[in-house]
C-alpha cells in the first residue's frame, strides 16, 4: 500500500492575533509544523499547539523561519550561513523544550517561507540548516522541497529526508515553486489541487506552469493551515487519497522506524 504524509504549518497565532484553524485542521493531518516564535507563534501558542498535536497523535515538527514577524517570514534576509545555523538551532531547541514538558517527541523540522525557498536553491544556506538540525538531534527528519538543494544537503549531513510537494502551489519547469508574487502562484480550485496531488503520489509527475510534465517525489504533502479554505480542503484531500488506497502516515514516524 502506498503511503504519504499530510503536513500543515500551524501554531502561527501570536499575542492577540489568531491565524489559521489549527484545532480543526489537526484532526485530518499526520504532521504539524509548529512555528517557533521568529516568523509567527509565541511561547503560549507553541505550548498549546504541541500539547494538542501530541494528544491527537499528530507528528510534531519545528517550523523555523527568519526573524521577520512583520513579514510573516516571507521576506528574504541576507544572513550568513553561520547566522542561519544559529537561528535554526535556537528554534528547534525551543520546540524540543516544550515537547519535553508534555512528554512528547519532536519528529521533524521544516523551514518556513523565505528561509525554505532560499534553501531550495542556495546550497550553503541549505547546509547550514541541515547541520543545525543534525547538531541538535540527528534523529530528526528534514522536510524539504522535492529535488531541492535542501534535500541534497540533508542527505549529505546524514539526516533522514522527506521530499515535500505542495497541494495549492504551482511549479516552475525546474521544480521550484512559483513565487507568491506571481499571479499564478496559487491553485484556488480544490478539485484541481486534489487531482494534481494524487498524480504526484501515484505517478511521481506534476505539470509545470509551461505545460510540461516534470518528475517529483512526494513523501509529504503540505496543506497551508492559514488559508481560508484550509479545513475544507484538507478534509477533501484526505478523503480522496484514502479512496485511492493511499495510507496517511507521518513521514517523521517513518523516518524514525
Report how far apart the first and last C-alpha atoms of the chain are (Å, whole number).
17
Here the CATH number for the domain that contains residue 234 is 3.20.20.370
Q: In the structure grid, which three cell numbers stand for residue 159, read together?
A: 539526516
Give the chain's domain count. 1
pLDDT string in tens for the chain (257-residue length): 689 999 999 999 999 898 888 999 999 999 999 999 999 999 999 999 999 999 999 999 999 999 999 999 999 999 999 999 999 999 999 999 999 999 999 999 999 999 999 999 999 999 999 999 999 999 999 999 999 999 999 999 999 999 999 988 999 999 999 988 898 898 888 889 899 999 999 999 999 999 999 999 999 999 876 666 778 888 999 999 999 999 999 997 655 55
DSSP assignment string, the chain: --EEEEEEEE---BTTB--S-HHHHTTT-SEEEEE-SSSS--HHHHHHHHHHHHHTTPEEEEE---S-TTTTT-S-----HHHHHHHHHHHHHHHHHHHHHTT--EEEE---HHHHHHHHH-HHHHHHHHHHHHHH-TTPEEEEETTSHHHHHHHHHT-EEEEEEESSB-B-TTSPBPPTTSTTSB---HHHHHHHHHHHHHHSEEE-TTS-EEE---SEEE--TTSTTHHHHHHHHHHHHHHTTPEE--HHHHHT-
- Give the range of the structural domain holding residue 81, as residue numbers without chain letter: 3-255
pTM of the model: 0.93
Amino acid at each position: 500500500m502506498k503511503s504519504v504524509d499530510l503536513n500543515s504549518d500551524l501554531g502561527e497565532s501570536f499575542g492577540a492575533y489568531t491565524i489559521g484553524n489549527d484545532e480543526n485542521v489537526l484532526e485530518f493531518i499526520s504532521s504539524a509544523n509548529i512555528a517557533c516564535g521568529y516568523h509567527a507563534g509565541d511561547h503560549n501558542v507553541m505550548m498549546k499547539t504541541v500539547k494538542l498535536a501530541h494528544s491527537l497523535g499528530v507528528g510534531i515538527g519545528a517550523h523555523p523561519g527568519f526573524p521577520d514577524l512583520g513579514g510573516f517570514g516571507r521576506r528574504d534576509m541576507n544572513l550568513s550561513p553561520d547566522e542561519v545555523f544559529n537561528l535554526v538551532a535556537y528554534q528547534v531547541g525551543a520546540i524540543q523544550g516544550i515537547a519535553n514538558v508534555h512528554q512528547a517527541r519532536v519528529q521533524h523540522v521544516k523551514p518556513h517561507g523565505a528561509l525554505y525557498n532560499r534553501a531550495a536553491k542556495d546550497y550553503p544556506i541549505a547546509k547550514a540548516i541541515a547541520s543545525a538540525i543534525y547538531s541538535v538531534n540527528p534523529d530528526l527528519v528534514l522536510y524539504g522541497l522535492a529535488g531541492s538543494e535542501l534535500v541534497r544537503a540533508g542527505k549529505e549531513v546524514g539526516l533522514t529526508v522527506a521530499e515535500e510537494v505542495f497541494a495549492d502551489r504551482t511549479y516552475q519547469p525546474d521544480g521550484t515553486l512559483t513565487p507568491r508574487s506571481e499571479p499564478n502562484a496559487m491553485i484556488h480550485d480544490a478539485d484541481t489541487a486534489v487531482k494534481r496531488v494524487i498524480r504526484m503520489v501515484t505517478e511521481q509527475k506534476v505539470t509545470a506552469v509551461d505545460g510540461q510534465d516534470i518528475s517529483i517525489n512526494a513523501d509529504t504533502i503540505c496543506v497551508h493551515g492559514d488559508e481560508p479554505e484550509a479545513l475544507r480542503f484538507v478534509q477533501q484531500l484526505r478523503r480522496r487519497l484514502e479512496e485511492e488506497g493511499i495510507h496517511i502516515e507521518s513521514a517523521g514516524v517513518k523516518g524514525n522506524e
